[in-house]
Chains A and B, each alone.
Chain A
Amino acid sequence: MNHLLTTVLLCCALGSCRSQRSAANSYPAQIGNIAYDPAQDQKDFPLCIADTLNQNFGSNGMRYEGEKPALAREFFSRYDATRVKKEDGLLRIRFIVNCNGATDRFRIMGMNNDYTEKRFDTTISNQLLRITRSLNGWKPIKGQRYNIGYYQYLIFKIKDGNLKEILP
């Protein structure tokens, strides 16, 4: 009887812990935060002051050397549509630009044209990821005393495997 009671109490306690944990973890501290993943991220990538990572909003547009035309040129000149699977949809790559303008923590999300989740063929996603990783024109946000890092995303509109538009 005592054994049964202990088991029941233990189950209740574990269940309670689990539900508390799931409630606390249902959202990241900020929507869109990208946690460190040792399997794919640089161990020593400096976040500078991690708590000050911004979302890249601001009326001055994309913080990229040469602005959006320079960034778009990289993709449209290097993306090779002749060797990809003919797929449609949007592919988002979100990442961190740190206070030095360096990038890491790249994450991919894809959707079909009806907003359902899609995993793009790697002939498409790996190419776009490789080009995104290689970009070196990102500029940090100029703070009063320090430069500030931020989250940036790029969305690629794909039609029949061709790169049609780059957002935002």
Chain B
Amino acid sequence: MKILHMLLLLLFGNMPAAQPNCNAYLYDSDTLQYKACKLVENIDERHHQFTRAFQEAYDAALKICPWFAYAYKEKAVAFLKSGDFLTWKKLIDKAVALEPAHYLGYRGWCRLQFFRDYSGAIDDIERLDSLVPYDIGYSVNSDYHLNFARAFCYIALGQKQKAVEIMETQIRTKGYPVLVYDYYQLGIAYLQTADTINAVKNFERQSDLNEIADNAYYRCKIYKAQNNPAAYQKYKTLALALYDRRRVLSDPYTEPFNKVYRSVIEKE
């Protein structure tokens, strides 16, 4: 039964952002959580997550089943997106307390993305890693593996070489599908450790995988330093063109890590 439950969660509901599959609770004979889950099923189609009705629906679900962790996480989202760190943290902590393996990675990523809480994010992600025998997964926006998130935190805390090692290990992990900004971020990490050769190697890989203005900018910057005016001009022009086509690092809620702005490219 547990295996079936795990399979259902893996197939339909193991991503914290996704609505859980209510039937998974039934298979666990957790009828209260099943009822709570059914009460808010597809609620996103009826109420926006910032509305009073949305909050009240999840309150009603929690009255039926106080251990319905997903409800706390969903209630927390609007507070997160409006920058209300106090209320968000109280709510998301309840979800983590109920289902640490499911929500630690999510909370860790949000601490990093929204509040640049580097130590807190590392604690959550590393605690998750110690709890589960499977891969710890990805950021909620799907841009990065959580080990990359951990690496961003170590860079911010000054441990740049450690960050490079974490990223390299992740990229070399068998079966890992390199994500859309991985090589770019690894290139930046190498630059920060003054390893230009490996930085260039990774910026070139990023160009092959998914060229973005930010990456083209760093290539132009390096060619300028290497006194290669033709390549410098080529990549500066490319960076500006890509920027204007919005082929850039982007996120709907926060300014991305290592984002390069048009004014910075122009000045290079």
Contacts and interface: CB of A to CB of B under 8 A. Distances in A.
Interface of A: 27-32, 55, 57-62, 66-70, 90, 92, 94, 109, 111, 113, 115-117, 151, 153, 155, 157, 165, 167-168
A165 B84 CA distance: 17
B52 A28 contact: yes
Interface string B68-85: 000000000011011111
A168 B254 contact: yes
Contact of B255 (A27, A62, A109, A157): A62
Interface of B: 48, 50-52, 55-56, 78-79, 81-86, 89, 114-117, 246, 250-255, 259, 261-264
A92 B50 contact: no
Contact of A55 (B50, B86, B246, B262): B50
Contacts of A30: 48, 50-52
B114 A167 contact: yes
Residue of B79, B115, B251, B259 ringed by the most chain A CB atoms within 10 A:
B115
Given A27-B56, A31-B82, A115-B85, A167 B254 contact: yes
A109 B262 contact: no
Given A55-B50, A66-B263, A155-B115, A32 B255 contact: no
A62 B256 CA distance: 11
Contacts of B48: 30
A94 B84 CA distance: 9
A139 to B, nearest CB: 15
B164 to A, nearest CB: 22
Contact of A57 (B81, B85, B117): B81
Residue of B79, B85, B114, B253 ringed by the most chain A CB atoms within 10 A:
B85
B56 A69 contact: no
A32 B85 contact: no
Contacts of A157: 116
A87 B11 CA distance: 47
A65 to B, nearest CB: 11
B263 A117 contact: no
A94 B263 contact: no
A158 to B, nearest CB: 12
Given A109-B84, A115-B85, A165-B116, A68 B250 contact: no
B264 A31 contact: no
Contact of B116 (A67, A116, A117, A167): A167
